[in-house]
Amino acid sequence: MNSETKNCKNCKKDFTIESDDFSFYEKIGVCVPNMCPCCRAQSRLSFRNERTFYKRPCDKCKKSVVSMYSPNKSFTVYCYDCWFNDNWGGEDFGLDYDYKIPFFEQFDKLWKKVPKVSLIYMRSPGSEYTNISADNKDCYYIIESSNNENSIHSYWIQECRDVIDTSFASKCELTYESDDCYNSYKLLYSKGCHDCTTSYFLADCKGCTDCIGCINLRNKSNYIFNESYSKKDYEEIKKDLNLNTYTGIKNFREKYEEFLIKKPRKFAEIIQIVNSTGSYMKNVKNCKSCFHCYDAEDNKYGVHIWRNAKDTMDCDTAGRNVSLIYNSINAGIDNSNLTCVALCWTCSFVEYSMYCFNSNNCFGCVGLRKKNYCILNKQYGKEEYERIVNNIKNELKEKGEYGSFFSNNLSCFGYNETPANEQFPLSKKEAIERSFKWEDTERGVYNKETKKIEDIPDRIEDIDFEVSNEIYVCADCNKNYKIIVDEFSFYKKLDIPLPRLCPECRHNRRMKSRGPNKLWHRSCMKEGCSNEFETSYSSDRPEIVYCEQCYQNEVV
C-alpha cells in the first residue's frame, strides 16, 4: 500500500502514514490511527507519573508511604510490600465480560477497583524511593533505571555506580550533573560523551582525559576550551578556575555556554546507525523518528527503545528483548506481542492492560501477576478466552478504536504530573479542554528553610554545620529540599560545592538541554554544503548545525 496523508483528529494537522506503517498495522491487526505520532505520544505519556511524589497512607497496612498518587485521589493505593504480597491478587476483582456494555466502560470499572501500587520497582534492596525501576541497590530517587548502585537523583541510568544528577547514562562511575554519557569516570557537567575521565564541562567528546570546557574532541588530554596545554600548565589553570567552588562553577558555566554557541553541532546525537532518523541513537538499524534508542532494530515513533528491541511502534520505553509492541508505555523486559499496555513486564500476548507482571494472553486486565487467559481479571479456558477476545476486537474495530490508546480521562494523573507536560506543555485550561486531568495539590514544601542560600559556603570544605540536618531553598523555584547523607559524602569526595537548585530544577535543566523529541527538516549550515537532514534542532535555535560529513571535518 502506498503512503497516505491524513488529518489528525486531535491537533488538526496533516500527517503521513508510510507504506511500511500500513504493513505493521496489518501484521498486528489494528486499525489505522487517526491521530498524528505526536498526539499519540502525548496521550500515552499522560498515563505515566514518573517523578511527582506525595506522602499518603497505604490503604492496607496504613503506614505512611511515598506515592505517585496524591492523597486526594480516590483510588485504593497499597505500599510496595502490600501490593506484591501473595495474600491478595488482581483476580480478586475480576468482572464477568458483558456483551451488552462497551468494553472501555467495563475496563474503567475494573481500573477504578483494583488497588494501585504506590511506586513501582523490582529486586532493588535499599532502593525503596525509586520508581519504574529494577535491579538497583542502595539508590535514592532514581527513575526509569536499572542495574545501578549507590546512585541518587538520576533519570534513565543503566549499570552506573556512584552517580548523582545524571541522566541517560550507561556504565558511568562518579559522574555528576551529566547527560547522555557512556563508559566514563569522574565526568562532571558534561553531555554526549563516551569513554572520558576526570573532566569538566565536555560536549560530544570521546576518549578524553583531563579536559575542561571542550567540545568535539577525540582522544585528547590536558585541553581547555579546545586548546592544548602541558600537564603542568593545565593543572595550574584548573586550580585558578576554582571549579571546586560554587562561584567558580557559575562563572565557568557562563563562559562555556558562550564558547559552545560558536562551535558546530552534529545534526543529531548518533553513533553507528543504519537507515534511521532521530537523535540520541547508538547501534541501531531501521529505526525511524526514535529518540534515546540503542542496540535496536526496526522500530518507529519511539522513545527509550533499547537493548534488543525489535518491531515496535509508538512506544515510550521498550527494551530488553522485546518485539511486536504497539502503542504502549513501559513495556520492557522480555515482552512480546503487546498492544496498548502500560507497565506490563515479562508478558506476552497482552492487550489493553496495566500493571501486569509475568502474565500471558490477557485482555483488559489490571494488576495481575502470573496469570494466563484472563479478561477483565477473570480467568477463562483457552477457547472461551479466544472467543470473547475476538468479540471485543470486533467491537473496537467497528468503532475504529482497536489500536488506539485509552482515552485521556482514564488516566489516574493530572497532566501536570506527567512527562507529557515536559514534551507537550499545556496550561491548565488547555489541558482540561483536551480532556486531560489536572492536579492542583501543592507539591513540595515552602518557607521552611533553615539555611539561606547566602549562608552556604562557596566551597564544601568550609562547611561547619551538619548538612543533612538542614533544609535548603531552591534558587529557582523557591521550593525546599534536603541533602541526604550519601549525597553529601559524594560531594565531599569529589570536592563539589553544595547545589543551590532543588533536584527537580536540576533535572529540568538537563532535560531542557536535550531538546524536544521532535524532528525538523533542515539543511547543513556549513557554507557551500547543500546536504539535508532530519534534526531535533529547530530553525529558530541559535546552534550551528552541520551534516555528518561537515561535522566530521571539524572534529579535532
The domain in which residue 9 lies consists of 4-35
In a domain, 220, yes or no: yes
Tell whether the model's pLDDT for residue 556 goes beyond 80.
Answer: no
Single-letter residue type at 486: D
pTM for this entry: 0.95
At 319 the pLDDT is 85
Please, which residues bridge with residue 64 across strands? Answer: 57
At 443 the pLDDT is 86
Cα 554 from chain centre = 31
Degrees to nearest 5, angle at CA 535 with 272 and 551 = 60
In a domain, 251, yes or no: yes
At 229 the pLDDT is 98
Pairing of strands 348-354, 209-215: unpaired
In a domain, 234, yes or no: yes
Residues 500-514 pLDDT 10s: 999 999 999 999 999
At 1 the pLDDT is 75
In a domain, 188, yes or no: yes
The total of structural domains in the chain comes to: 2
Q: Among all chains, which residue has been given the C-alpha cell 551529566?
A: 178
User: Residue 332: which pLDDT band, with cuts at 50, 70 and 90?
Assistant: confident
Which residues have C-beta within 8 Å of that of residue 361, sequence separation ≥ 6? 348, 349, 350, 372, 373, 374, 382, 385
Domain final residue pick, 216, 239, 266: 266
Domain final residue pick, 209, 231, 266: 266
Please, which residues bridge with residue 157 across strands? Answer: 169
In a domain, 182, yes or no: yes
Which cell goes with 487?
549525597
Which cell goes with 22?
500500513
Residues 90-111 pLDDT 10s: 999 999 999 999 999 999 999 9
In a domain, 252, yes or no: yes
Which residues have C-beta within 8 Å of that of residue 207, sequence separation ≥ 6? 194, 195, 196, 218, 219, 220
Domain final residue pick, 266, 295, 321: 266
In a domain, 318, yes or no: no
CB distance 474 to 502 below 8 Å: yes
In a domain, 364, yes or no: no
Helix (H) or strand (E) segment spanning residue 199: strand 197-203
